[in-house]
Structure 1
Amino acid sequence: MPYVDADGARLYVEDSGHGDPIIFIHEFASDLRGWEAQLRHFSRGYRCIAYNARGYPPSDVPEDAVLYGWECAADDIAALMRGLSIERAHLVGLSTGGYAALQFGLRYPEKVGAIVAASVGSGSHPTQRDDWLRETSVLARIFIDHGMAAVAERMARGPARIQLKYKDPRSWQEFVARLRQLSTQGLAHTMARCQAVRPSLHDLRDKFAEMTIPVLLAVGDEDATCLETNLMLKSVLPNAGLWICPNTGHGINLEEPTAFMSHLNQERADAELFRLDLK
């Protein structure tokens, strides 16, 4: 299996297709398998790269919690690009992956053609911040004490997750099965050292106001914890579009894969999101 060396961990990578590179960055509650529909679609015309973040087997699961800081998530994208000899790429990230993509855009703007940030903003809004800090601390402990088999289905029935079960029971069952297979230690460290302590997107308004990278924001209208933050991002990012998908929760690429890919294609056609010189 192909791996790329990052600082403190090896990252498992899947690479398919030819053309301008697109890097897919998964969410907290899944791994690269959650991008399967998008990888099959876009690898017809692009080089599609998906990887498992540190803490998500078969990538390494470091024992030291310090190796899971939120900065690592952005720097791991840079390590991936170095390992694959990629100078610039488009980034498509979901939730935690979308947060990493935006942070990468701030830290390495010269390496990014365009960003799709889907379902970003959990715990960022000022009214949510205190609850977020409490909940992430509790969840990190639950993963260790109870294991993924005990909590996977409960997570998948959350208020921003249950929409997938109603729309596509088969896809929801696959989502639950993937959750059960994730590393409890990896999730606990990611929750405690990355999710819980990462800066709020609202605190980065001034930096985003100077970021000229084209960005497509995508969020479901039933993803209550993310909606207002996406409106804020739309208002401050100079070159951003916002798609709000109706009757949709947090897993927007799983709930509405056709619409998700259609909007990426439409953005490419209308705003030339993906028609950038990456050489």
Structure 2
Amino acid sequence: MPTVTVNGVELYFEEHGTGQPIVGIHGTPSSAMLWAGAAAELANHGRCILYDRRGFYRSAPPEPFHSIDLTEHLDDLAALIATLHAEPAVLIGRSTGGLIALEFTRRFPDKVKGLVLLEPALFTLDPKADAWAADTRRRVLAHVAVEPARLAEALLRDALGDETWDAFPHELKNILGGTSPAVLAEMRGYGLDLSEDPLVLGEEALAGVRVPALIVSAEDSLEACRLVNVRLAAHLPHAETVLVPGGHLIDPAHPAVLSFIDRLVGGAPG
């Protein structure tokens, strides 16, 4: 299992294809394992790099493992990209991964060629979305004292619905359920979407993001996600938007994403 040691933790990563680096950042709770199908498609358009964020599935948690801050995810991503000589990269972030990708671009603009934001979880951009996230945090944390091992399941049931969770294969449920300690650590930390103190970005901060960005919304997703994307589209200076069928778990290799990447790099490799 390929790993790289960064900032005191071992991160699992995998590479597919060659050419323009394309780095995928999964959501919470999740793993690069959920991007396996997308990786095969993305590999036809560049050098696809996926990884499990610290504490999630195949990436070992730090010791002691109490909290995870947004800055730790940013520093891990910077170290991973540097170690793999993968800059500037196209970043694809889904949900929490989209929040990480956006803030990474603000802090390390020279390391990013373009952004694909699959319903990024920057709920503080919109008052109604922010209130939804705060309510979700309260509901999910209520499970900690009763069934802490089922925290990840509680979050996914709350955000995606019981039917979506129930449709997951048993093995996937076990993998996602096993990320509960990492989910709780993010909720205890700073800057993540369900942290007590989530990241807050104003219009001026968003206007400073100068790379091309594709903002992807799903037809059947949460209203909170759509509200966030409307705000992003209004304030990111080089953004385009697309609406795709389905729910919040948007395909990272959707044709609209592949077309955007090809335009960034001048066409898929032959």
* CA gap 1:274/1:46 in 2 versus in 1, 3 angstroms: same
CA distance in 2, matches of 1:56, 1:64: 15
Aligned residue for 2:208, secondary structure, equals coil
1:54 aligns with 2:54: yes
What residue number does 2:242 align with? Answer: 243
Amino acid at match of 2:256: H
- Give distance in 2, aligned partners of 1:137 and 1:163: 22
Offset, 1:224: 1.1
CA distance in 2, matches of 1:139, 1:165: 15
Give the TM-score, by structure 2 length: 0.84
Equivalence for 1:262: 255
- Contact kept, 8 Å, 2:90 with 2:115, in 1: the verdict is yes
The C-alpha deviation readout for 1:142-186, integer Å capped at 9, x for no partner, is: 3575144x45555444453457579xx4x5666534312x23322
AA paired with 2:143? I
**Alignment-derived partner of residue 273 in structure 1:** 264
Mark the CA change 1:143 to 1:275 in structure 2 (over 3 Å): closer, same or farther: farther
Stretch deviating more after TM superposition (131-140 or 111-120): 131-140
Aligned equivalent of 1:70: 70
Task: Determine the structure 1 residue equivalent to 2:34.
Answer: 34
* Alignment deviations for residues 219-239 of structure 1 (CA, whole Å, 9 cap, x no partner): 213321111110111011111
SS in 2 for 1:79: helix
Determine the structure 2 residue equivalent to 1:142. 143
What secondary structure is seen at the aligned counterpart in 1 of 2:214?
strand
Shift of 1:192: 2.2
Alpha-carbon offset, residue 204 of structure 1 = 3.0
What residue is the counterpart of 2:176 in the other structure?
179
Structure 2 unmatched runs, 5+ = none
Per the alignment, do residues 245 and 190 of structure 1 end up closer, same or farther by CA in structure 2, a change over 3 Å counting? same
Name whichever of 81-90 and 102-111 sits farther off: 81-90
1:86-125 alignment, distance < 5 Å:
86-121=86-121, 123-124=123-124, 125=126
Aligned to 1:132: 133
Residue 193 of structure 2 is aligned to residue 192 of structure 1: no
Q: 1:59 & 1:35 partners in 2: Cα distance?
A: 16
User: What is the CA–CA distance in structure 1 between the aligned matches of 2:154 and 2:141, rounded to whole Å?
Assistant: 15
TM-align CA RMSD: 2.7
Which has the higher mean CA deviation after the structures are superposed, 235-244 or 154-163?
154-163
3-state DSSP of counterpart to 2:74: helix
Separation of aligned partners in 2, 1:206 and 1:65: 35
Q: Which runs of 5+ in 1 are unaligned?
A: none
SS of the aligned residue for 1:82 comes to helix
With over 3 angstroms needed to count, the CA separation of the structure-2 counterparts of 1:22 and 1:107, relative to structure 1, is same
For residue 44 of structure 1, what is the amino acid of its counterpart? N
DSSP 3-state at the match of 2:85: coil
1:210 aligned to 2:208?
Answer: yes
How far the C-alpha of 1:135 sits from its partner, in A, is 3.8
Identity over aligned residues, as a percent? 26
Give, in whole Å, the separation in 2 of the partners of 1:184 and 1:154. 9
* CA displacement at 1:9 relative to structure 2: 1.8
Mapped partners of 1:154, 1:188: distance in 2: 12
Equivalenced residues, count: 261
1:134, CA displacement in angstroms?
5.4
- Comparing 96-105 with 71-80, which one deviates more in the overlay? 71-80
Q: Distance in 2 between matches of 1:156 and 1:183?
A: 12
Are the aligned partners of 1:6 and 1:76 in contact in 2 as well (CA < 8 Å)? Answer: yes
| Range with greater deviation from structure 2 (114-123 or 226-235) | 114-123
